[in-house]
Structure 1
Amino acid sequence: MTIGTGTPPIRPVARTAAERRIARELALEPGGPPSLRARLTGRAVRALVKTAWSSVPDSADGLIRFQRLSGLVSRAQTVPPGVAIAREDLGTCSAEWVRAGAPDERKVFLYLHGGAYFFGSARLYRPSNWRLSASTGRPVLALDYRLAPHYGPSDALDDALTAYGFLLESGYAPGDIVVGGDSAGGHLALALLLELRRRGTGLPAAAVCLSPWVDLRCASDSHRLNARSEAVIPAGKLAWLGRVFTAGKGAAHPLLAPRHGDLAGLPPLLLVASGSEILRDEVRDLAERAQTAGVGAVYQEWDGLMHVFTVFADFVPEGKAAFRHIAEFLRRTGA
């Protein structure tokens, strides 16, 4: 705001057709119909990702087979000029620093990728992590946590704790850190918050969860109601994984607590979901329970988009806009 006038800030005028298109994309808000490019991308992702995942057996060999397919895709991921990538060895796991432009090194974003706890990597997520760094103006530490079938979500939580501890030891105060993730990584971010609180460790300034897999037991109605409209996840495959991961665990277990546990005292949360994905209802429920518990939770529901549409921001205009919303959320919360 211009001081003393009460007028809105002067914004640069987009001069070229490309600049005008980007400005329109960044201005998109939840609640409107999905763009044509989002619909077309959703069809392509359904044909490739959902079909490939559906084709592998419910077994360790099936998980490894799909891992290999995603590994081939990750090799093709590139970043624009001016984006720096650097590896970080954390002992039991590793991570990748992503810096777009000249970020504020006094702050950091710890990002936990999705992939149902059995596939995905920092490298696969480079196209979204560089956008996250650019939009929030801070470096992103993207964690490569250990994956099933050789490891489980509890090992991933240990790795997330290791990464958070590494940031504290590197000189970042808890208030300098934002934690986020998508799908299984969104679940892991929430589990990390609850475990940090249990240990009495300082909590990060905020958390961003994109289509988080909040309920590993897959008990929400949308797992059934949106099974056909879901473009990425075969509902039956995720339910099988959930049964494997939760076998023998009670509702108080930290990996189940995001859906059932006490959320009081958590930092501000941005929770994003698509109205047509199978995880929609549990994300809605989490937002309502967080608000009831006094948490500054913001819930955004985008109509007709695919699960974790931010990952496809190169093709989905709403994905680009979502990064603007993330940056605005962090500015509003002072994170």
Structure 2
Amino acid sequence: MSTEQQQALDAILRQAAFPVGSSVDEQRRQLRELTSAQPLPPEVSVKSGALGGVPVTEITVEGVEPRHVVLYFHGGVYVLGDALSAAGLASQVGRRTGAKAFSVDYRLAPEHPYPAAVDDALAAYEALLRDGIAPSDIVFAGESAGGGLAVATLVNARDHGLPLPAATYAMSPYTDLTLAGPSIDTKRDADPLLSRELLEPRVADYTAGQDAGLGLISPVFADLSGLPPLLVQVGSHEILLDDAVRLAQRAAAADVDVTLEVTPGAPHVFQAYGPLLDEATAALDSAGRFLTARLTGAHA
């Protein structure tokens, strides 16, 4: 990543950051404006559907024969975003794994606080299994809160006695809603998008009085034993750096096959900025290799 690329992206993101104290409605409106300004590539097709009664956006890429399934969870601190807004990143994962992607439109807080998102994510996965798709043909992926939700769904599925997918890919995962990671404060000036002040009100929206340290809310505190291979990617210029690092450490301590990739100078969910940042494509390519090896290995 050139210094020029990093500085240009940093400036763009600082200009787009939510003002501290802005309301949920204001943040949702701002996010819709940002995502609507980024059209999908012409080879990416989307259509609405449902899995287990949960709305999903089904994403296919022209020229990619889908042999596998990516169950994708969008970001937005459990309060913002939607399945369609994540279609671009989900399609990038599907493109690299020969997969059809289903982006899950899980219910959002504050209208639907915990455990609504967790329940919807598990229901969507259960529906794939009921449809006869082998778990060895499924991977989870997600960014930010969606990365945390992907890991929470693994834990939830394991605890429900379900077979687990072949692997999971978490981009800048939001895994500690107690906001106890040191980088929440130490990376404050480096992070162009997020801050403790922005996250705290949204934590309250989602937890609605529940303990933010519960494993299905903050999977960094969950028992991670028995989970499938996990790839965690994060940038060094984000306050959630320690959410990713501690998740990887906890997974390793639980004997999970985990890979942690930290990209110097990169911001939160840098994989979304392919046209602006060389490292975005490199990270997605690395994820494609990781997931494909696990999908292929599952059939060995």
TM-score (norm 2): 0.92
Sequence identity of aligned pairs in percent? 32
Aligned pairs for 1:15-94 (under 5 A) are 35-48=3-16, 50=17, 52-54=18-20, 56=22, 62-90=23-51, 93-94=54-55
Which residue of structure 1 aligns with residue 210 of structure 2? 248
Rounded to whole Å, the distance in 1 between the matches of 2:85 and 2:26 is 16
**Over the residues paired in the alignment, what is the CA RMSD in angstroms?**
1.9
Rounded to whole Å, the distance in 2 between the matches of 1:234 and 1:327 is 30
Label 1:249 to 1:312 Cα distance change in 2 as closer, same or farther (>3 A): same
Matched, 1:326 2:275: no
Aligned pairs for 1:123-142 (under 5 A) are 123-142=84-103
* 3-state SS, counterpart of residue 165 of structure 1: helix
Rounded to whole Å, the distance in 2 between the matches of 1:106 and 1:171 is 13
Read off the aligned partner of 1:249 and give its amino acid letter: D
Q: Displacement, 1:151? A: 1.1
2:109 to 144, 148, 169: 148
Aligned pairs for 1:85-234 (under 5 A) are 85-90=46-51, 93-234=54-195
Rounded to whole Å, the distance in 1 between the matches of 2:164 and 2:54 is 22
Rounded to whole Å, the distance in 1 between the matches of 2:55 and 2:61 is 20
Rounded to whole Å, the distance in 1 between the matches of 2:251 and 2:62 is 35
Measured against aligned partners, the alpha-carbon deviations of 1:97-118 in whole angstroms (never above 9, x if no partner) come to 1111333433100010001111
Which residue of structure 1 aligns with residue 264 of structure 2? 303
Label 1:284 to 1:255 Cα distance change in 2 as closer, same or farther (>3 A): same
Q: Displacement, 1:135? A: 1.7
Rounded to whole Å, the distance in 1 between the matches of 2:278 and 2:216 is 35
Label 1:282 to 1:163 Cα distance change in 2 as closer, same or farther (>3 A): same
Q: Displacement, 1:34? A: 5.2
Rounded to whole Å, the distance in 2 between the matches of 1:100 and 1:122 is 16
Read off the aligned partner of 2:13 and give its amino acid letter: V
Return 240-249 or 324-333, whichever deviates more.
Answer: 240-249
Q: Displacement, 1:156? A: 0.8
Label 1:280 to 1:127 Cα distance change in 2 as closer, same or farther (>3 A): same
Label 1:117 to 1:248 Cα distance change in 2 as closer, same or farther (>3 A): closer
Return 200-209 or 141-150, whichever deviates more.
Answer: 141-150
Measured against aligned partners, the alpha-carbon deviations of 1:282-302 in whole angstroms (never above 9, x if no partner) come to 211111121121100000000
Q: Displacement, 1:216? A: 0.8
Rounded to whole Å, the distance in 1 between the matches of 2:91 and 2:213 is 36
Return 214-223 or 314-323, whichever deviates more.
Answer: 314-323
Measured against aligned partners, the alpha-carbon deviations of 1:154-200 in whole angstroms (never above 9, x if no partner) come to 11111111211221122211111100111100111111000001000
Rounded to whole Å, the distance in 2 between the matches of 1:38 and 1:44 is 10
Aligned length: 295
Q: Displacement, 1:253? A: 4.5
Q: Displacement, 1:231? A: 1.3
Contact persistence 2:113–2:205 (CA under 8 A): no
Rounded to whole Å, the distance in 2 between the matches of 1:111 and 1:94 is 12
Q: Displacement, 1:92? A: 5.0
The gaps in structure 1 that reach 5 residues or longer are 1-32, 57-61
* 3-state SS, counterpart of residue 73 of structure 1: helix
The gaps in structure 2 that reach 5 residues or longer are none
Read off the aligned partner of 1:255 and give its amino acid letter: I
Measured against aligned partners, the alpha-carbon deviations of 1:60-119 in whole angstroms (never above 9, x if no partner) come to xx1122112212333333222322211113465311111113334331000100011111
Label 1:250 to 1:300 Cα distance change in 2 as closer, same or farther (>3 A): closer
Label 1:253 to 1:300 Cα distance change in 2 as closer, same or farther (>3 A): closer
Rounded to whole Å, the distance in 2 between the matches of 1:193 and 1:91 is 17
Return 124-133 or 164-173, whichever deviates more.
Answer: 124-133
TM-score (norm 1): 0.83
Which residue of structure 2 aligns with residue 28 of structure 1? none
Contact persistence 1:128–1:313 (CA under 8 A): no
* 3-state SS, counterpart of residue 145 of structure 1: coil
Return 271-280 or 124-133, whichever deviates more.
Answer: 124-133
Rounded to whole Å, the distance in 2 between the matches of 1:122 and 1:287 is 26
